[in-house]
Structure 1
Amino acid sequence: MITIRPAGRSAVPDVLALLDGATEWLVAQGRTDQWGTEPHSTNPRRIAQITGFADDGGLWVAEDDGRVVGALAVGDAMPYVPPAEEPELYVRLLVTDRASAGLGIGTTLLDHARKLARDAGVGMLRVDCFAGGDGALVRYYEKQGFTRMVEFAVPVNDSEWPGQVLFQRL
Structure 2
Amino acid sequence: MTDQPTLTIRPGGPGDARTVLRLLDTATAWLAARGRTGQWGTEPASSDPRRIAQADAWATSGGLYLAGLGDTPVGALVVGAATEYVPPATEPELYVNLLVSDRAYAGHGIGARLLAYAAELARDRGLGLLRVDCYGGDDRALVGFYESCGFTATDPFTVDRPGRPPWPGQVLEHRLG
TM value normalised by structure 1:
0.98
TM-fit CA distance, 1:107: 1.1
Q: Structure 1 CA distance, aligned partners of 2:47 and 2:114?
A: 26
1:83 to 88, 91, 95: 88
TM-fit CA distance, 1:49: 1.1
What SS class does the counterpart of residue 112 from structure 1 fall into?
A: helix
Q: Structure 1 CA distance, aligned partners of 2:124 and 2:115?
A: 14
Deviation per residue, 1:10-56 (Å, 9 max, x gap): 11111100100001001100111111110001111111112111211
Q: Does 1:44 align with 2:49?
A: yes
Structure 1 runs (4+) deviating above 4 angstroms are none
2:170 to 159, 164, 169: 164
1:45-124 to structure 2, matched below 5 A, reads: 45-124=50-129
TM-fit CA distance, 1:158: 3.6
Q: Which amino acid aligns with 1:150?
A: D
What SS class does the counterpart of residue 133 from structure 1 fall into?
A: coil
Q: Percent identity?
A: 58
Q: Which amino acid aligns with 2:94?
A: L
Q: Structure 1 CA distance, aligned partners of 2:54 and 2:18?
A: 12
Deviation per residue, 1:68-97 (Å, 9 max, x gap): 000000000011111100000000000000
What SS class does the counterpart of residue 31 from structure 2 fall into?
A: helix
What SS class does the counterpart of residue 36 from structure 1 fall into?
A: coil
What SS class does the counterpart of residue 84 from structure 1 fall into?
A: coil
Q: Does 1:6 align with 2:24?
A: no
Q: 1:127 is matched with which residue?
A: 132
Q: Does 1:23 align with 2:23?
A: no
Q: Which amino acid aligns with 1:86?
A: E
Unaligned runs of 5+ in 2: 1-5
Q: Which amino acid aligns with 1:148?
A: A
Q: Does 1:144 align with 2:166?
A: no
Q: Structure 1 CA distance, aligned partners of 2:143 and 2:135?
A: 7
- Please report the RMSD computed on the Cα atoms of aligned residues, expressed in angstroms: 0.7
Q: Structure 2 CA distance, aligned partners of 1:55 and 1:80?
A: 22
> Number of aligned pairs?
170
1:154 to 151, 159, 162: 159
For the 8 Å contact 2:9–2:68, the answer to whether it is kept is: yes
